[in-house]
């Protein structure tokens, strides 16, 4: 029997664990010359949104971005601090919050079957791309097409694979975890 207090503690712990998972996955990266690395953060962000839902998934990414903002080196390349958050790639980190929220909202509304999870994660990832790319354009004064070529197109194949794996893992965890896990 789970009390409301136990349930809240479990959510807080899961929120912290997913913030840590995003931080670890952010370090598994391939640097790119223009400063936006290819890393596994999108995988963890999609998983946070799908597993924890819109409230706690979003909260886990708010924690992650807040840690980065106060200087904890959780961003790719062990970066942190206001300069990293407000720099040319900071929009993608902030976009993670929106991605987790949208992934959680879509899965909450439409269910957690594999095709729905993929759709939800694609929607979240597109929102992250949009926010991050517009931020990049604003700060670098790059044309939109140039920014898309630098910040979106090279990442599509890897992000498609990360989305598929996160959706598959969500389905597998749903089968194995107790119904009241989250």
- Summarize pLDDT for 112-158 with one digit per residue, the tens: 999 999 999 999 999 999 999 999 999 999 999 999 999 999 999 99
Polymer length in residues for the chain: 182
| Confidence at 55, pLDDT banded by 50, 70, 90 | very high
- pLDDT tens track for 101-116: 999 999 999 999 999 9
Is residue 30 situated within a structural domain? yes
Is residue 182 situated within a structural domain? no
Q: Helix and strand tally (H, E) in the chain?
A: 7, 2
- pLDDT tens track for 62-90: 999 999 999 999 998 899 999 999 999 89
Is residue 154 situated within a structural domain? yes
| Confidence at 13, pLDDT banded by 50, 70, 90 | very high
Residues spanned by the domain of 33: 4-176
The whole-number average pLDDT for the span 44-58 is 97
**Which of 148, 160, 42, 147 is closest to 102 using CA atoms?**
42
Considering its fold, how many domains does the chain have in total? 1
Q: Kindly give the residue spans of alpha helices, DSSP state H, lying in 2-76.
A: 4-27, 41-69
Position 35 scores a pLDDT of 64
Task: Considering only residues 1 and 53, tell me which one the structure prediction assigns the higher pLDDT.
Answer: 53
CATH code of the domain covering residue 15: 1.10.1760.20
Is residue 181 situated within a structural domain? no
Distance CA 61, CA 134 (A): 20
| Confidence at 2, pLDDT banded by 50, 70, 90 | low
Is residue 42 situated within a structural domain? yes
The whole-number average pLDDT for the span 153-181 is 93
Is residue 24 situated within a structural domain? yes
Task: Report if pTM > 0.85.
Answer: yes
């Amino acid at each position: 029997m789970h009390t409301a207090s136990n349930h809240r503690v479990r959510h807080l712990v899961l929120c912290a664990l997913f913030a840590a998972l995003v931080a670890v996955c952010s370090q598994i990266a391939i640097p790119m010359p223009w400063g936006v690395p290819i890393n596994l953060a999108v995988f963890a962000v999609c998983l946070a949104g799908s597993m924890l839902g819109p409230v706690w998934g979003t909260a886990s990414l708010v924690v992650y971005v807040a840690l980065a903002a106060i200087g904890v080196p959780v961003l790719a390349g062990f970066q942190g601090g206001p300069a990293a958050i407000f720099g040319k790639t900071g929009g993608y980190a902030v976009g993670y919050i929106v991605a987790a929220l949208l992934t959680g909202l879509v899965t909450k509304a439409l269910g957690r079957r594999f095709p729905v999870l993929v759709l939800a994660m694609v929607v979240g990832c597109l929102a992250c791309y949009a926010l991050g790319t517009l931020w990049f354009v604003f700060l670098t004064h790059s044309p939109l097409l140039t920014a898309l070529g630098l910040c979106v197109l090279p990442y599509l194949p890897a992000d498609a694979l990360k989305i598929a794996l996160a959706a598959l893992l969500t389905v597998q965890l749903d089968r194995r975890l107790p119904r009241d896990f989250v």
